Amino acid sequence: MSFRFLTAGESHGPGLSSIVEGMPAGVPVLAEHIDAQLARRQRGYGRGGRMKIETDRAVILGGVRHGQTIGSPVSLAVINRDFESWQDVMSVAPLEQAYAADTPKRRPIEIPRPGHADYAGGLKYRQLHDMRNVLERASARETTMRVAVGAVARCLLESCGIHIGSHVVEIGGVRGEVETAPPARDINEQADTSSVRCLDENATRQMEARIDAAREAGDTVGGVFEVVADGIPVGLGSHVHWDRKLDGRLAQALMSIHAMKGVEIGLGFEAARRGGSEVHDSFGAGNVAADASSSNGSLSRPTNNAGGLEGGVTNGSPLVCRVAMKPIATLMNALPSVNMTTGEATGAHVERSDYCAVPAAGVVGEAMVAIVLADALLEKFGGDSLEELRESLSRHRDYSARLGQPLPTAAP
Ligand SMILES: Cc1cc2nc3c(=O)[nH]c(=O)nc-3n(C[C@H](O)[C@H](O)[C@H](O)COP(=O)(O)O)c2cc1C
């Protein structure tokens, strides 16, 4: 069994939806769990006006009964409140039914924004006459549904003792300094109290000032966030094939989030600058108290430069992924562009937009990590019900708990 999903829906259309396949029966799932994650995605210093209009709420249309999954696909929807103001622009009915006679079409997009999907998508789908047909689906509004699906995946993971958190480490060149980050399960409680989801209070204020400066200049900023997960059993993913390596699967999932341009695992690029003796995490044998968030019995690993993965397989240490987001492409001080209908040089299309969305992107990153981990967990431990999955996981955890002691003699 694997965990799969697809999303549908446009940014200003009637709503977003998804079908989630692979959830075992018996997992507690409440709409409130999903709504709490959706609310976290809506916050963050530097967001535009859209997030003030929407109060995202999940509607569960199938797959859950009396607060628990029943093994059938989980079907989700989120209604776009803003659709009310876009009924003509985003009408499903033909143009002549959407607009009164002689009323010009509102908000067509003929001038692509550098850095957005407008031009490349418009050319590919032959929609250059109105690139709204591209923008509406390329928009990060789609990440609402990823967060909803991720919240369902989290319900499964948390039932198995796996927790995920994230925090922002850099915005527009301002870096946060954190001596020791809290364990994954406690990170969000702390990070969510910061307007930019940064664990360093001093840096929070500097990041706010950096976002203000960008806004005043009609500019935007990007940054870096870190996603951490703990309680993960050893052995998710595999070393045997390129498409089963968990580091590759995580990188793909995180890079697929709108505007993400780099993913590091553990030390990441820094590992390339150091010698092996300064990078690889040594083992401590015997009755050494293991790190509380490790799943390696009494084996200890004093460092976690590998970020919880070796050979594409989880190694029992917390998973640490860092992700770089480029600055938002819609600039109020528009960049040079060309009108695709007239061929005239002019400023790029401008539309209501975020100035910085790194804090929200971290929440989306958590969702994508949850989805990949849920898939890998089901792949290794299987089961059509949570009960079966936990039995199998518990046997594996008992085996791992003996690590650091001599292995029993293998049967011939
Ligand atoms: C949470 C979030 C919010 C975003 N908000 C905006 C926005 O308001 N305006 C914008 O131009 N881009 C926004 N983006 C980025 C664009 O969606 C993205 O740059 C675009 O889809 C092109 O894809 P690419 O950057 O991956 O090439 C946002 C991204 C995320 C993750």
**Which of 168, 326, 354 has most ligand 1 atoms within 8 Å of its beta carbon, as the pocket-test mutant?**
354
Query: Do residues 107 and 350 lie in contact, with contact meaning Cβ atoms separated by under 8 Å?
Result: no
Q: How far apart are CA 118 and CA 349, in angstroms?
A: 10
pLDDT higher than 70, residue 349:
yes
Kindly report the CA angle at 7 between 33 and 98, in degrees rounded to 5? 115
257 close to ligand 1 (CB < 6 Angstrom): yes
Q: What is the pLDDT of residues 60-77, one digit of tens each?
A: 999 999 999 999 999 999
Average pLDDT of the residues in 281-298: 64
Mean pLDDT (the chain, rounded): 93
Q: Of all atoms in ligand 1, which is nearest to the CA of residue 360?
A: 1
Answer whether 348 contacts ligand 1 (Cβ < 6 A). no
Domains and CATH numbers, the chain: 4-401 (3.60.150.10)
CA 213 to centroid of ligand 1, rounded, Å = 20
Q: Which helix (H) or strand (E) holds 19?
A: strand 15-21
How does pLDDT run across 1-45, given as a tens digit for each residue? 699 999 999 999 999 999 999 999 999 999 999 999 999 999 999
Between 411 and 205, the more confident residue is 205
Distance 257 CA to ligand 1 centre (A): 9
Per-residue pLDDT tens for 364-404? 999 999 999 999 999 999 999 999 999 999 999 888 877 76
- Identify the pLDDT of residue 287: 46
Task: Answer yes or no: are the C-beta atoms of 58 and 34 closer than 8 Å.
Answer: yes
* pLDDT tier at 409, thresholds 50, 70, 90: low
Over residues 182-197, mean pLDDT: 96
- Positions of E strands within 186-273: 223-230, 260-265
**What φ, ψ does residue 174 adopt, rounded to 5°?**
-90, 125
Task: Tell me what the mean pLDDT of segment 188-199 comes to.
Answer: 97
Cβ of 262 less than 6 Å from ligand 1:
no
Q: Is the pLDDT of residue 109 over 90?
A: yes
Q: What does pTM read for this prediction?
A: 0.95
What string of DSSP letters covers 119-157?
HHHHHHTT-TT-THHHHHHHSGGGHHHHHHHHHHHHHHH
Distance CA 396, CA 86 (A): 53
Q: Is 138 in the pocket of ligand 1 (CB under 6 A)?
A: yes
Tokens of 308: 């919880």
Backbone φ and ψ for 42, nearest 5 degrees, come out as: -80, -15
DSSP alpha helix (H) spans, 240-357: 246-255
**Could you tell me the distance, in angstroms and rounded to a whole number, from the CA of residue 140 to the centre of ligand 1?**
5
Average pLDDT over residues 261-275: 98
Please report which confidence band the pLDDT of residue 242 belongs to, taking 50, 70 and 90 as the band edges: very high
48 band by pLDDT with thresholds 50, 70 and 90: confident
Q: How far, in Å, is the centroid of ligand 1 from the Cα of 363?
A: 14
Q: How far is the CA of 124 from the centre of ligand 1 (A)?
A: 19
Instruction: Tell me the mean pLDDT in the region 303-310.
Output: 96
Please report how many Cα atoms fall inside a 13 Å half-sphere around the Cα of residue 200, on the Cβ side: 17
Check residue 107 and give its pLDDT. Answer: 80
Distances in Å between the Cα of 301 and the Cα atoms of 188, 270, 286, 317, 358 are: 25, 20, 12, 8, 32
Query: Is 165 within 8 Å of 230 (Cβ atoms)?
Result: no
Spacing, Cα 259 to ligand 1 middle (Å): 5
- Does the C-beta of 328 come closer than 6 Å to ligand 1? yes
Question: Minimum mean pLDDT among 56-65, 137-146, 401-410: which range?
Answer: 401-410
Contact indicator for 23, 74 with CB cutoff of 8 Å: yes
pLDDT (0 to 100) of residue 1:
63
Calculate Rg over the CA atoms of the chain: 23
Residue range 174-191: mean pLDDT, rounded: 94
**Residues 303, 180: Cα–Cα separation, whole Å:** 12
Whether 55 and 123 have beta carbons less than 8 Å apart is answered as: no
Identify the pLDDT of residue 405.
Answer: 66
Task: Give the pLDDT band (50/70/90) at residue 295.
Answer: low
Closest-lying ligand 1 atom to the alpha carbon of residue 353: 8
Mutational pocket test of ligand 1: of 131, 132, 139, 211, the residue with most ligand atoms within 8 Å of the beta carbon: 139
Q: How far is CA 198 from CA 71, 115, 175, in A?
A: 38, 26, 9
